[in-house]
Structure 1
Amino acid sequence: MTLPGGIPAGTSDDAALAFAAGQGDAKAFEKLVEKYQARIYRFAFGMVKDRDDAWDIAQETFLRAHVALPGFRGRSAFSTWLYRIAANLSLDGRRRRQREEALRNSRDAEVEVAMGPLSAALAGPHKQALRRELLDKLDEALESLPPIHRAILLLREVDGLSYEELANVLEIPKGTVMSRLFNARLRFQRKLRAYLAVDGEIVLKNED
C-alpha cells in the first residue's frame, strides 16, 4: 500500500520527507537539512579537526544527498544513508589533509630540530594546566587512531548510532562492527593509560 505521492504506508517521518524531497519538495529537503546539519557537521569536525573543512563536508553531504534523493528507496533509515555519505567524504578529506600535512612537516622538520625542546615556560595555575594538557591528550589519542577506528568511535560515542546503524553506515557486518569498536576503544584507552587518574588525581607523565 502506498500513500499519495508514492510514499509507502508506515514510512517514518524522515523517510517521508526524503521521498517528498526526492520528488522536488524543497521544503521537505529544508526540514531534513535543519534536522541533521549540526549532527553531520559535528561528525565531520570530529574526523577532520578543521571547522572550515567540516562545514565543506557537511555542505557536500547535503548536496550529494539532494542529487541522490530521487533514488532513495528507504531500504535503510534516512539517517543511516546520510551518515554513510558523510563518513565517506570525511575519510576522503582526512586522507587529503594528511597528505598536505606530510608535505608541510617535511619542510618544517629542520626548523623544529633547531629549536629543540621548549622549557616548561607555559606556567599557569596548576589545575588549569593539568586540565588543558589532559584535553590535549584526549585529542591526540583520538587523532592518532586509524580513520576507520576514529569514525566508528565518533559515530557510536558521540552520535549514538546503534550497532545495526553502524553496520549500515560503514557497510560492514555487525560482527565486524563489534570487533572494530572493541579495538578502537582498546587503542584509545592504551593511548591514555599514562594520563588517567590514580586515587582520584590526574597523573601526567612524559611519553618518553
Structure 2
Amino acid sequence: METTTGQATRQAAMGSPSDEEIVHRVCAGETALFEVLMRRHNARVYRAVRALLRDEAEAEDVMQQAYVLAFTHLDQFKGSARFSTWLLRIAVNEALLHLRKRSRLVALDGGADDALEAGMKRLDRPTLDPERRTAERELVRLLETSIDALPASSRMVLMLREVDGLSTAETAEVLSVSEDVVKTRLHRARALLREEWENRLGGQLEEVFSFLAPRCDRVVAAVMSRLGAH
C-alpha cells in the first residue's frame, strides 16, 4: 500500500504546484515533497555541475551534497529570485568547492580562467556509461566533446544560457558575475564552437547531457535516504 508521504509526493507532482509552494510545504514539515523539487530540477543541476567537473560520478556526488545543503537551508530561501536560480547557485558553489579541494583552485571569476583550465586539464576525461551510449546519437556525443573542450567559464555560461535556458540576469546571479561578463563569455563560447558546428547545432542542444530516468531515480533515492524522508 502506498504510504501517506508517497501519496502526498505523487499528488504534488500531479497538481504542479509552484516551487515556492512546495518549499513552503517542505519547511512546514512535508519533507517528502522535497523529492518533487529534485525531480523538477535534476537535469539542469546535473548539467551545471557536470559542466564544471566533466565527470559523471563526481557530478552525481556533488549534486547529492548540493541538495542536502539546499534542504538544510531551505528556510533561507526568501523568494527574491526563482528557486531554480537559488538552487543552481548552491550547486555551482559546491562544484567549485569540489574543484578547489581536488586541484587547489580558486573560485571561478573573471581572472581565474587560466588557473582553472590548468587544473581541469589534469582531470581524467569522462567515459560514457552504457545508459548514455544507448541514448545519445553520434552528433550529440560529438557536441558534448566540443563543449567539454571549451574554457571552463565559457562552458559554464553556455550550459546555463543555451541548454538550460536561463536569462542573462539569472546566469549572472548563479555565477556571481555581471551581466556583461555573462554576455562576453557566451559570445566567446559561441565563437569557439561556430567554425565546427555552425551547420550542425540546429535543435540538438536540448539533448546535451540528458539526465535519464535511472540516474534521476538514483540521485533522488540517495538524497531522500540521507534526509531520512523515506
Task: Please say if 1:146 is aligned against 2:151.
Answer: yes
Contact 1:44 1:58 in 2 (8 A): yes
What do residues 155-208 of structure 1 show as CA deviations (whole Å, max 9, x unaligned)?
112111122221221122222222221122223335x37xx76xxxxxxxxxxx
Partner residue of 1:42?
47
Instruction: Specify whether residues 172 and 46 from structure 1 end up closer, same or farther in structure 2 by C-alpha distance, changes over 3 A only.
Output: closer
Q: Give 1:143 deviation, angstroms.
A: 2.3
- Asked if the contact 1:155/1:166 (under 8 Å) is kept, the reply is yes
Change (3 A) 1:135 1:78: closer
Is 2:91 the partner of 1:71?
no
Is 1:17 aligned to residue 22 of structure 2? yes
Letter in 1 for 2:155: R
Partner of 2:191: 186
1:168 maps to which residue? 173
Tell me which residue corresponds to 1:86.
Answer: 91
Indicate the structure whose relative CO is greater, using CA pairs within 8 Å and at least 6 residues apart: 2
CA 1:36–1:189: 2 relative to 1, 3 Å: same
Asked if the contact 2:47/2:159 (under 8 Å) is kept, the reply is no
Question: Which position in structure 1 is the counterpart of 2:122?
Answer: 102
Distance 1:36 1:92 in 2: 21
Which amino acid counterpart does residue 60 of structure 1 have in structure 2? Q
Could you state the TM-score of these two structures normalised by the residue count of structure 2?
Answer: 0.57
Cα separation, 1, equivalents of 2:119 and 2:149: 15
CA pair 140-15 structure 1, distance change in 2 beyond 3 A: same
Structure 1's unaligned 5+ residue stretches are 1-11, 105-130, 198-208
| Amino acid across the alignment from 1:102 | R
Match of 2:207 in 1: none
Structure 2, unaligned stretches of length 5 or more? 1-16, 104-117, 125-136, 200-230
- Contact 1:167-1:177 within 8 A present in 2 as well: yes
- Give the counterpart letter for 1:31 in structure 2: V
Q: Give the aligned residue type for 1:26.
A: T
Query: Cα gap change, 1:79/1:136 in structure 2, threshold over 3 Å: closer, same or farther?
Result: closer
Aligned residues: 158
Superposition deviation, residue 73 in structure 1: 0.7
Q: Which deviates more from structure 2 when the two are superposed, residues 41-50 or residues 92-101?
A: 92-101
**Which amino acid in structure 2 is aligned with residue 151 of structure 1?**
M
Q: 1:70 to 1:52 in 2, by over 3 A?
A: same
2:59 to 42, 47, 54: 54
Distance 1:103 1:157 in 2: 25
TM-score, with structure 1 as normaliser: 0.62
**Greater CA radius of gyration, 1 or 2?**
1
